[in-house]
Structure 1
Amino acid sequence: MTAHDTLVDLPAAGAEPLAALVGADLQVPLVTGGTARYVNLDHGASAPALQAVAGRVAEFLPHYASVHRGAGFPSITSTAAYEAARRSVAAFVGARPDDVVQVVRNATDAFNLLATAVPGDVVHLDLEHHANLLPWRERGSRVVAAGSTVAATLSALEAELARTPAALLAVTGASNVTGELLPLAELAALAHRHGARIAVDGAQLVPHRRVDVAALGLDYLAFSGHKLYAPYGAGVLVGRRDWLDAAPPYLAGGGAVRRVTVGGAVWTTSPARHEAGTPNAVGAVALAAACDALAAIPAEVQEAHERDLRGRLAAGLTALPGVRLLTLWDGEVDAVGLVTFTVDGFPAELVAQYLSAEHGIGVRDGRFCAHPLLDRLHDGRTAVRASLGLGSARGDVDRLVAAVRALVESGPAWTYSDEHLPVPDPRPLPLGLV
């Protein structure tokens, strides 16, 4: 299957899935008896694999061997595939010719690596995912509270960067709580105006919107394969070479060195400098396949599909009494296909368990690894997040809205424990997987 095979001839935006996903027809048991087609509205946590990605991995696996270290033909093939994956990723995100594509585990890993390389303070907003909060704390982290408008937020960042020089401005591309997009070109220009670089957490952005690193003026971009329909354990940090070449090796081990003696080592340059040990070649191949597949879908088609679904979801939920959507700048900016909401009288954990147990719908509940933002938007309490993707369609949105309506009007049909788990839970787990 090629990337183009994933496309579907849409009668209208949002009416049908945009791509074929593994598990799209999965049937899940319900506590009330019988089964239902699983509606996956948890893409923001981990997206299922594209069929094109699974096919590429299956094609690669017979050739899998040691990368960069073997003379056998499978090793030569694996090395070529691993390095070709970097080129596919670089092309997909519009990297500059001299940028490094550093293969890591995920966006969290990428920022922990970058934190070892930043030669100064880091400024970031309070709305960030923990992956873009916690790694900077040992690097002179300076937190700026997002304003009530985008303009006020930009002004606050400018004032902080003007007050005291910083090496890096680290921002999200799209909030993993509200889905709202930040103006990356403006932020990049702002950072550069004050002598700082910019690093973007693209974990929630790259699966939904095209990103051009060079055109936007970004210095670093991080994203995860498991959110980009390639759940095989790889992510990337894409960006400028000099800081990475000057940083200590992220891991000390084979492949990261030019020469080792009993008393010392001469380290090589990036990307090998930070990829000690046997790399995740399968994950890199999968991630490249996902990039190729998404590149084959016209950007305007994906955006129209998502806007239709998100608008339908937001309108359906806000029409229900007692349901509130969480937003940073309500209606002021575009957003990816993600909606976080609360239901009066029902804890978020109960809502999520109810949707799964009685309706076969998967969502996320909690504070989404963004505790400071939930402190601001919902007094630190938990909420429910529904996140859409290439495999989503209007029928999925309508099933969620109908299920929440039934909860608001009649309450759950099943009993739930103090921990909000269904009691009893008669759903059998798949044999062989547990």
Structure 2
Amino acid sequence: MTAVLENSCAPFAAVSGADLQVPLVDGTTCTYANFDYAASAPALDAVTDRIAELLPYYSSVHRGAGYASRVSTAAYEKARVTVANFVGAQSDSVVVFTRNTTDSLNLLAGCVPGETVVLDIEHHANLLPWNGRRVVVAADSVAETVRRIEAELASKPAALLAVTGASNVTGEVLPIEDLADLAHRYGARILVDGAQLVPHRRVDIGELGVDYLAFSGHKLYAPHGAGVLIGKRDWLDAGEPYLAGGGAVRSVRIDRTEWALSPARHEAGTPNVLGVAALAAACDAVAAHEAAGAVEHERRLSARLRHGLQAITGVDLLQVWNDSPDSVGIVTFTVDGYGPGEVAAYLSAEHGIGVRDGKFCAHPLLARLGHAGGAVRASLGLGSSEADVDRLVGAVELLVQDGPSWSYEEDNGWWNPVPDPRPFPDLADGSAGVGSPCATGEVSIDS
């Protein structure tokens, strides 16, 4: 595994793209500063090494007699054990591989035998799929929010409480163990959307009392198209198969189908063997980095970023609660006089800094925080450094003091430098353009 870097000015771990050079509008280039980990994290070197090791053996799984097929099958099922151990899965839990967190939550939504209680602060993936959704409006404090959840659970039976582990907008963490106890007290189970929490904090679902956990490889330094749902077997075995097809059955006749139990029940078709192997490799690497002090490193960088931005006149940091017990490396802010898309375009075009702008698939939360038009999100990860943080703070301060040195215009919700002389590499089709609505949809306001 790649050695951990001890210099606090350096990244904590090696990730792909760490030395990526990007063009600026003035004709120069600089090293890319990635502050978009919350959307998709770059691959850890340990993950790309695992993929390279497995690629020569890549073959069909579960039914092939060839040696490569046997190796691929063993790697796929070993990954299931690795992921289960990483999150402290219990003996009655099952690990189902999916495409991403959204896929996992939609899968579980088809298996829940009753109504689901959710908060209004959720990412759309944990707000929209649930049948019989009952929404609790979060309060200004975590303590009062928990009381509101209890009141809703006590008002009438619910099958599931579905909550985020950490807000994808502000990074604030909920008291998961307390919420699990609360859900169980009123006869409900609890699902944690761990998309933002798992990459930053160790989650032991056995210790926390969590019944279901979902997270994505692409946010856990394994951007190869795999996600996972982990949880109690009974609902998953009783639910309709998520996809009907090969691998999900025990036997098929023209007039009758006997479905397999989980996880095969919900993993029809040829699975993403490489993505699953990458996810397992990421779990191993992240666990090792956590043990070596990655959380403390992130907290130092987060505090440095927050304090730096707060010191700039006209910059406002978003916050849901005034008493959250913890926050992962996500800092979302606005700049007086500039729209979030314009700020993001300026940071990219003039400073080579990548952030996320928009509503972050959390429209109700942005609206209640008074920023229905969106905000700017800077998110940290294992490849982040103090130099990156200082560069971002300095760029925002320069924007407030002197304004942009280039012109920017909005086109269908997407801000671009005008003109934009930056070339695309050959592997990308520059004719579509990053601002093309057909290429991006509502990326600038919904990601």
Q: Shorter-chain-normalised TM-score: which range?
A: over 0.9
Question: Which residue is equivalent to 2:261?
Answer: 269
- The answer to whether the Cα contact below 8 Å between 1:6 and 1:293 also exists between their aligned partners in 2 is no
| Of 411-420 and 313-322, the range deviating more from structure 2 | 411-420
CA-CA distance at 1:264 after TM superposition: 2.0
- The answer to whether the Cα contact below 8 Å between 2:174 and 2:324 also exists between their aligned partners in 1 is no
CA-CA distance at 1:331 after TM superposition: 5.5
CA-CA distance at 1:98 after TM superposition: 2.6
Question: Which residue is equivalent to 1:52?
Answer: 46
CA-CA distance at 1:222 after TM superposition: 0.2
Question: Which residue is equivalent to 2:249?
Answer: 257
Where do 1:9-408 residues align within 5 Å?
Answer: 10-12=6-8, 15-136=9-130, 139-299=131-291, 301-330=293-322, 332-408=324-400
The code of the aligned residue for 1:67 comes to V
| Secondary structure class of the residue paired with 2:418 | coil
Residue 432, structure 1, aligned to residue 422, structure 2: no
- C-alpha distance in 1 between matches for 2:292 and 2:53: 30
- C-alpha distance in 1 between matches for 2:3 and 2:264: 33
- C-alpha distance in 2 between matches for 1:74 and 1:211: 34
RMSD: 1.0
CA-CA distance at 1:396 after TM superposition: 0.3
CA-CA distance at 1:418 after TM superposition: 3.2
CA-CA distance at 1:332 after TM superposition: 4.0
| Secondary structure class of the residue paired with 2:154 | helix
% of aligned pairs identical?
A: 65
| Secondary structure class of the residue paired with 1:350 | helix
- C-alpha distance in 2 between matches for 1:418 and 1:75: 51
- C-alpha distance in 1 between matches for 2:373 and 2:100: 27
CA-CA distance at 1:373 after TM superposition: 0.4
| Secondary structure class of the residue paired with 2:52 | helix
| CA offsets 1:249-285 (integer angstroms, 9 cap, x no match) | 0000000000001112100000000000000001000
| Secondary structure class of the residue paired with 1:292 | helix
The code of the aligned residue for 2:337 comes to G
List, as ranges, runs of 4+ consecutive aligned residues in structure 1 with deviation greater than 3 Å: none
- The answer to whether the Cα contact below 8 Å between 1:306 and 1:337 also exists between their aligned partners in 2 is yes
| Secondary structure class of the residue paired with 1:421 | strand
| Of 354-363 and 416-425, the range deviating more from structure 2 | 416-425
CA-CA distance at 1:300 after TM superposition: 6.9
| Secondary structure class of the residue paired with 2:327 | coil
- C-alpha distance in 2 between matches for 1:331 and 1:31: 42
CA-CA distance at 1:6 after TM superposition: 3.9
Structure 2 residue ranges without an equivalent (≥5): 430-447
| CA offsets 1:180-212 (integer angstroms, 9 cap, x no match) | 000000000000000000000000000000000
Residue 7, structure 1, aligned to residue 1, structure 2: no
| Of 366-375 and 323-332, the range deviating more from structure 2 | 323-332
| CA offsets 1:341-373 (integer angstroms, 9 cap, x no match) | 000000000000000000000000000000010
- C-alpha distance in 2 between matches for 1:217 and 1:331: 23
| Of 411-420 and 302-311, the range deviating more from structure 2 | 411-420
- C-alpha distance in 2 between matches for 1:65 and 1:431: 30
- C-alpha distance in 2 between matches for 1:241 and 1:31: 54
CA-CA distance at 1:298 after TM superposition: 3.4
CA-CA distance at 1:299 after TM superposition: 4.2
| Of 74-83 and 326-335, the range deviating more from structure 2 | 326-335
| Secondary structure class of the residue paired with 2:280 | helix
CA-CA distance at 1:106 after TM superposition: 0.3
- C-alpha distance in 1 between matches for 2:11 and 2:18: 10
- The answer to whether the Cα contact below 8 Å between 2:119 and 2:135 also exists between their aligned partners in 1 is yes
- The answer to whether the Cα contact below 8 Å between 1:306 and 1:389 also exists between their aligned partners in 2 is yes
